[in-house]
Chains A and B, each alone.
Chain A
Amino acid sequence: MEQAKTVRQDGETKRGVLAHLEGLEAQMKRFCKSSEELQRAQAKESTPGNKIRELRHLRDKLRAEVKKRQARGDGSRASSANVESDPTVEMGEQEVLEKKQESIKAILQAYRFTGLSGKLTSRGVCVCISTAFEGNLLDSYFVDLVIQKPLRIHHHSIPVFIPLEKIAAKYLQTDIQHFLFSLCESLNAYSGRKYQADQLQNDFAAFLTGPLQRNSLCNLLSFTYKVDLMGQYSFCARLLYEDLTATLPTDITVTYQGTEALSASWEEQRASHEALFRTKPLHRVFASFAREEELDLSLAS
């Protein structure tokens, strides 16, 4: 390391010192490099050793696990809870999944109780609209929608006199929920009116003195009836349901079918009938007539 101190000019001395420093630097670099290499080599050497150790550890673990399961398979009752849990946990998971599936199926079925339920189809969705009146479950209708731009109705079971096109034009493209609920309203109202008219025809035919005239939409009804089965007076009623989302009429006229003038009490009755038809469902009005009739008969006897 001791370079000869040459008796030279300063530059040469400097050069000499610099050269010395450079030499030291180079040595250090070589030393570092070699030590790194040594470390790497050492690391490389130790990895297979480590791996072997790891593999041995894993093998021992697996052996222990196998022993455990064999012990369980023997039916021996181990004291620790863990031992029993594994197979039961597996079965439990299966049961839980099955139960979940059942409950989801049930929930999907339950949507029909909201009045609107849908099923996915290859083209889009088929919506089922259920109708009811006063707790009586009535007809269901469906609308098959194709999910395209624009949304369109593939086919449906909506009666022709329900304003489907009008409702679709208004809402189908912009607000599908509104479209469905609007349709729901119209169909339920129609179902309700139809139910009332059917009930009148079937259950209270005795009160009618002529056929019940009705249109397919069941929003215009005309009939003649007697309140008093023994009596002579019969009234003619005309009910118009202008609001197609309603089950009660908007326009009621009850007139007397006869040539003589009506007595005051009968006039009162006529007016009260108009009020009754406006506020109560048709068949309920006649049910009340029937009750009164029974009462009168029981009083008379």
Chain B
Amino acid sequence: MLTGFSITGYSKKTEDLTSTEMKEEGIKKVLQRHRLSGNCNIVTFQLEFQILETQNKENLSSVITDLGIIMEPTEYSELSDFVSRAEERRDLFMFFRGLHFFVKWCEYRKRTFKHFKDKYPDMVHLPEGACSHCMVICSASRPGFELVIVWRIQINEEGKVLPKLDLLTKIPQRALKLDKNRVIENAPLSFRTLLGVLGIEAAVESLIVLCKDE
């Protein structure tokens, strides 16, 4: 589908709420109850929402008066906060926009991690499998050293989807003691800067190359 959404079921019920007084004043009120179900990639959604349409002499206003959303799978914890916010605000379109971008970022993360796993199978590990949100880099010649790239996909207050990447380091004590220039301490911050300069793929690649055996 053009938008990436696939709607598998839809039904609608209409209720006329126009009272006799309203009719006299030329006002018409209709309540629509909608049920929608579908999916976006592997995420399925079920929505129930109500739209109140008020028609008076000048204009027609449509307001979403209630919104309930059920999503599967529920493992994406970042999504559940977003869903609650969308329900609270009754912002149907923000829900779909956010869902679209979230799924796109998840796909990109999966592809990127897989790319590195395929390219450097001995050095790269995905602790949670294909949909892992973190990637571990280690080298055989330097056991005890590990670089962990944590890639979270967050949805902010406005429904904007933003990737958030962090670097965690696991270094043996002896090595830490030798680190006079505090490279390890500054690594997370340096990684953020590197991301800004090189972009995600190049930044991660440069870290792997660093750990690679000559």
**A110 nearest CB neighbor, chain B only:** B10
Chain A contacts for B158, CB-based, 8 A: 245-248
Tell whether A132 pairs with B61 under 8 Å between CB atoms, given A116-B2, A177-B4, A245-B160.
no
Contact A184–B97 (Cβ < 8 Å): yes
Q: Which residues of B contact A114 (CB under 8 A)?
A: 3, 5, 7, 93, 96
Q: Is A180 at the interface (CB under 8 A from chain B)?
A: yes
Residues of chain A lying within 8 A (CB to CB) of residue B100: 177, 181
Of the listed stretches A32-40, A82-90, A133-141, name the one at the interface; the rest are far from the partner chain: A133-141
Residue of A nearest to B89 (CB): A134
Contact B97 A181, beta carbon cutoff 8 Å: yes
Contact-size category for A: 20 to 34
A41 at the interface (CB under 8 A from B): no
Please name all residues of chain B whose beta carbon is closer than 8 Å to the beta carbon of A161 when the two chains form the complex. Answer: none
Please, which residue of chain B has its CB at the minimum distance from the CB of A184? B97
- The one of A115, A127, A180 in contact with B92, judged by C-beta atoms closer than 8 angstroms, is A115
Q: In the complex, what residues of A have CB within 8 A of residue B11's CB? A: 106
Structural contact, A188 and B97, CB atoms closer than 8 A = yes
- In the complex, whether A125 has a CB less than 8 A from a CB of chain B is yes
Give the nearest-CB partner of B90 in chain A: A135
Q: Which residues of A contact B64 (CB under 8 A)?
A: 132, 135-137
* Cβ distance A137 to chain B, nearest Cβ, rounded Å: 4
Residues of B83-107 at the interface with A, using a CB-CB cut-off of 8 Å, are 89-94, 96-97, 100-101, 104
In the assembled complex, the Cα of A103 lies from the Cα of B5 at a distance in Å of 17
Partner of A132, one of B12, B65, B91, B104: B91
How far is B50's CA from A213's CA once the two chains are assembled, in angstroms?
35
Of the candidates B3, B89, B94, the one having the most CB atoms from chain A within 10 angstroms of its own CB is: B3
Q: Say yes or no: B94 contacts A125, CB within 8 Å.
A: no
Taken together as a complex, chains A and B put the C-alpha atoms of A127 and B5 apart, in Å, by 14
For the side of the interface on B, what is the size category? 35 or more
Tell me the complex Cα distance, A134–B65, Å.
10
Q: A115-B97, A181-B97, A181-B100 are in contact. Are A134 and B91 (CB under 8 A)?
A: yes
Q: A110-B36, A247-B158 are in contact. Are A135 and B89 (CB under 8 A)?
A: yes
Within 150-196 of B, Cβ neighbours of A (below 8 Å) are at 157-158, 160
B31 → A minimal CB distance (Å): 14
The reply to whether the CB of B126 lies closer than 8 angstroms to some CB of chain A is: no
A245 to B96, alpha carbons, bound, how many Å? 15
Tell me, yes or no, whether B133 is within 8 Å of chain A by CB.
Answer: no
Nearest Cβ on chain B to A278's Cβ, whole angstroms: 11
Q: Does A16 sit within 8 A of B, measured CB to CB?
A: no
Whether A91 sits at the interface, judged by CB under 8 Å, is no
How many angstroms between the C-alpha atoms of A109 and B9 in the bound complex?
A: 11
Q: Is there contact, CB below 8 Å, between A134 and B2?
A: no
Within 8 A of B (CB), among A127-151: 127, 130-137
- A153 to chain B minimum Cβ distance, whole angstroms, is 15
Mark B55-70 against chain A: 1 for CB-CB distance below 8 A, else 0. 0000001111101000
* Contacting residues, chain A, for B123 (C-beta < 8 A): none
Q: Can you give 30 contacting A-B residue pairs, CB < 8 Å?
A: A106-B11, A107-B9, A110-B36, A111-B7, A113-B36, A113-B47, A113-B92, A114-B93, A115-B92, A115-B93, A116-B96, A132-B64, A132-B91, A132-B93, A134-B89, A135-B64, A135-B67, A135-B89, A136-B61, A137-B51, A137-B61, A177-B2, A177-B4, A181-B100, A185-B97, A185-B160, A188-B97, A245-B158, A246-B158, A247-B158
